[in-house]
Chain A
C-alpha cells in the first residue's frame, strides 16, 4: 500500500509538471504577442501605414488561437492545486490563494473583457477605443505574469509569514514582504524578457519562412514580411543580451537564497574557491560525484562570484534529503544557457547583415532564423524545469516538503486522469499547433482581413493554394 501511495505521489507530480509545462508556453506566447500587437496597432495609428494594420490582422488570428489554448489549459491549473496538492493548498492557501485571486481580478477579467472587442470589435468601436482594448489585453497579460510570479517566488523564497502552531498554516504577516520577496524582481524580469524573446524568434521564423518561400518562387518578398522579420531581429538583437544579464543577476540571487539549487545546477559537490565551470558531466546522486566532467578552470567562481577565487557551494554542504535532483537541472540549465547564447549570436549576426543591407537577401541566415523558431520556448521551459526541480524536495522552500503537500489521492484515479490528460493534450494542443503552423504558413498580404467568427474561414480557404487545402484536408481525414 505504501508503494501504491509512492506511485500516486510520483504521478501527481508528473501530472502537475506536464499540465503546467504545456500551459506555460501559451501565456508566454500571449504576453509577447499581445505586446507586439499593441505596438503594431499603435504604430499604425501614428503613421497610418497600411503594412502595420496588415501585420496586426495577420498576427491577431494566431493570437486568438494561442490565447484560447492558454485559457483552457490555465483553468486546469486553478483546480489542480486542490486536486493534487490539497495539503499544500490548505496550508499555503491563505497566501498563494489570495495572490491567485488578485491575479484573476486584476488580470484575467481585464484580458477576457477586452479580448472580444480586440478580436471582433474593430468596426464596432472607434480606432482609439480599439487600440485601448488591445492595450488592456496586453497590460492584462503582464499583470497576470506579475501575480503568478509573486506567488511562485514566494514559494521559492518565502517571506512575511508566520506559521500557525496549531495546524501548520502559513499566516500572512506583511503582504508587501510576501509579494516583494527576494527572488521576485529577478524572476519577473527574467520571465518577462523570456516571453518577449520567445515571441521575437517565433515572429522572426515566420518572416524567414516567407522570405525563403518568396526566393524559391523567384519573386520579391512583400513589405509585411520584411517588416515583421526586421522588427523580430531588432528584438533579438536588443533583448537577448539583456536576458543574459538578467539571467546572471537571477543566478546570483539563487546563490544567495537557494545555494543547494545552485550547487545542483552546477554539478558541484564540494564547496570550494577557484571552482571550474563544468561544460559537461553526469552528476551521480548516489556516489556524490559528477562523472565524465569537462570543465573550464576558474570560470565557475568567476561567473558565480564575479571573482576568480570566490567560494561556490557544493551539494555535500546539504543533507542528502535536502538536495535537488542534480542530473535533471544540470542539463536543463545548460540547454537554457546554450540557447540563450545562440539567440544572442543570431541577434548580432542580424546586425551585421543589416549593416551590409543583406538582411532580406541571405538565405543561410533565413534558414538559421527559421530553425530558431522554438528556441525561445525551449529555453523558457528548460529555465522553468531548472527553477522548479531545483526547488525540490520542497514546495515552500525549506518549510514544506513536496511529499507532505500531496492530496489523499488514489492510484487508480491518478492513473486514469494522467492517461486522459496526456491523450487529450496531445490531440488538442497538437491540433492547435497544426492550425497555428497552417495560419502562419500563409503569407500576410495587403488588405489583410479581420478575424471574424462568421466569415473567418475565408482567411484560410480563399487565400491558400488549392494544393495546400487538399493536402491538409487529406491529412485531416
Chain B
C-alpha cells in the first residue's frame, strides 16, 4: 500500500504533464493564429486561417478542461492552492478565452455588419491575452507560491513579476510561431509565403526568449540551480539545450527550403524540450517551493479509480481525435474551403 501511494502520484504527474503539453501545442496554434490576425488584415485570408482550425479548436480546448479536472480530482491540494494564488490571471484568461471561443461562430454570423470586425478584434485580443496569462501562470508556478498550512497565503498580485512577464511574452511568441508554422503546413500561395516570413522572425524571437528564461530560472531557487549544474544530473539534462539549437537550425533551414510540414514539427520539438526542461526543474514539486506531489494528492482510492478510466478512455479519445483531424487534412485555400 505504501508503494501504491508513492507511485500513483508519479503516474498522475506524468499524465497531467502530458495533458498540459497536448493542450499547449494544440490550442497553442489556435491562439497563435488568433494573434497573427495582427499581421493579416485581408478578410478572405483570415477566413482561411480560421478555416484550418474551425473543426478542431473545440477539441483542443478540451485538453485544458481535462487539465483542470485532473488537478481537481487527483491533486486537490494543488488545485486549491494554485487557483486562489493565480486568481486574477486565471479569471482574465477565462474571459479572454470566452471572446476567442465565441468569435469562431459570431464573426461568421455577423458578417456584413460592423460587428464582424469587432469579433475579429475579440478573437485577436482574446488569443493574445489568453496566451500571455498562460505564460504568466506557468512562470508564476516556477517562481513559487507563498503557502502557510497548506493554503495560499500570499497577495493577489504576487504572481506579477518581471520573470512572469517574460514568461507571458515567451508563450505569446511561441504560440504565434506554432500558428505560423501550422499555416505554412495547411495553406497555400500568398498566405503560406507570408507565414514563412512571420515564422522566421518569430523563431528568432522565441529563441531569444528561451535563452533568457533558461538563464533566469535556475537563479530563482537554489534547488533549481543544483538540478542543472551538479553531477550526475548534468549528463542527463545536457541534451536539452543542445537539441534546442539543433531544432532551431532545422527550423531555419526548412523554412528557407520550402518544406511544408517540417517547420511545424520543429516548433513542436521546441515546445516539447521547453516543457521537459520545466518538468526537470520543478520536479517533484506540485506547488514550488513547498508542496510536493505527495503533499497535495488525493487518497489512493480516488487516484486508482480515475486511473482505470483514464487507461481505457485516453487511447479511445486519441483515436477519434486523430480521425477527426484526418477528415479535415490537406491544404485549405481561398478557393475551395469545406464543400
Report B93-105 CB contacts with A as 1/0, cut-off 8 Å: 0110111011011
Chain B 35-52 interface mask (CB, 8 Å, partner A; 1/0): 000000000000110110
CB A340 to nearest CB in B, in angstroms, measures: 31
Q: Report A-chain residues with C-beta under 8 Å of the C-beta of B313.
A: 105-106
A410 neighbours in B (Cβ, 8 Å)? 155-156
Q: A409-B84, A456-B108 are in contact. Are A72 and B152 (CB under 8 A)?
A: no
* C-alpha spacing A304/B279, complex, angstroms: 58
Q: From residue A81, how far is it (CB to closest CB) to chain B in Å?
A: 6
Cβ–Cβ contact B109 & A412, under 8 A:
no
A102 and B109 contacting across the interface, CB-CB below 8 Å:
no
Let me know if B324 and A428 touch, CB within 8 A.
Answer: no
Q: Binary interface profile of B, 102-140, with partner A (CB < 8 Å = 1, else 0)? A: 101110111111110000000000000000000000000
B188-196, B209-217, B231-239, B296-304 - interface stretch:
B296-304
Are the CB atoms of A101 and B306 closer together than 8 Å?
yes
CB-CB under 8 A from A104, the residues of chain B are 62, 65-66, 69
Given contacts A164-B299, A469-B112, contact A108 B62 (CB under 8 A): yes
Q: Are B62 and A97 in contact (CB under 8 A)?
A: no
Contacts of A455 in B (CB 8 A): 337
A74–B65 touching, CB < 8 Å: yes
Please name all residues of chain B whose beta carbon is closer than 8 Å to the beta carbon of A364 when the two chains form the complex. Answer: none
B87 near A116: Cβ-Cβ < 8 Å: no
Question: When chains A and B are docked, how far (Å) is the Cα of A126 from the Cα of B308?
Answer: 34
Q: Which residues of B contact A171 (CB under 8 A)?
A: 299, 301-302
A105 to B118, alpha carbons, bound, how many Å? 34
Interface hits, A386-435 → B, CB 8 Å: 407-410, 412-413, 416-417, 420-421, 424, 428, 431-432, 435
State which residues 237-274 of A face B: CB under 8 Å: none
Interface size on A, residues (CB 8 A): 89
Contact of B328 with A by CB under 8 A? yes
Query: Interface-forming stretch among A27-35, A62-70, A185-193, A195-203?
Result: A62-70
Which residues 284-333 in B have Cβ within 8 Å of A in the complex? Answer: 298-299, 301-302, 305-306, 309-310, 313-314, 317, 320-321, 323-324, 327-328
Contact among A102, A115, A120 for B338, CB-based, below 8 A = A120
* B98 and A424 contact, CB distance less than 8 A: yes
Select which of B55, B70, B88, B337 is within 8 A of A101 by beta carbon: B70
Instruction: Write the nearest CB–CB distance from A380 to chain B, whole angstroms.
Output: 22
Q: Shortest Cβ distance from B158 into chain A, in angstroms?
A: 11
Query: A416 to B338, Cβ gap below 8 A?
Result: no
Q: Do B156 and A412 touch (CB < 8 A)?
A: yes
Residues of B close to A64: CB separation below 8 A: 105
Look across to chain A and name the residue whose beta carbon is closest to the beta carbon of B302: A94
**Are A457's CB and B111's CB within 8 A?**
yes
Chain A residues proximal to chain B, CB less than 8 Å: 61, 64-65, 67-69, 71-76, 78-79, 81-83, 86-87, 89-106, 108-117, 119-121, 123-125, 164, 169, 171-173, 175, 407-410, 412-413, 416-417, 420-421, 424, 428, 431-432, 435, 438-439, 452-457, 460-461, 469, 472-473, 476-477
- What are 26 A-B pairs at a CB distance below 8 A? A61-B109, A68-B101, A71-B61, A83-B83, A86-B152, A90-B80, A91-B76, A93-B79, A93-B80, A97-B79, A97-B298, A101-B69, A101-B306, A104-B66, A113-B59, A115-B59, A121-B327, A121-B328, A124-B328, A124-B338, A435-B109, A452-B338, A457-B108, A460-B112, A461-B111, A469-B113
Extra contacts, 13 of them, besides A89-B72, A99-B73 (Cβ < 8 A), are: A65-B105, A71-B101, A79-B83, A82-B72, A89-B83, A97-B74, A113-B323, A116-B54, A120-B328, A413-B156, A452-B338, A453-B54, A472-B113
* Chain B residues proximal to chain A, CB less than 8 Å: 47-48, 50-51, 54-56, 58-59, 61-62, 64-66, 68-74, 76-77, 79-84, 87-88, 90-91, 94-95, 97-99, 101-102, 104-106, 108-115, 151-153, 155-156, 298-299, 301-302, 305-306, 309-310, 313-314, 317, 320-321, 323-324, 327-328, 337-339
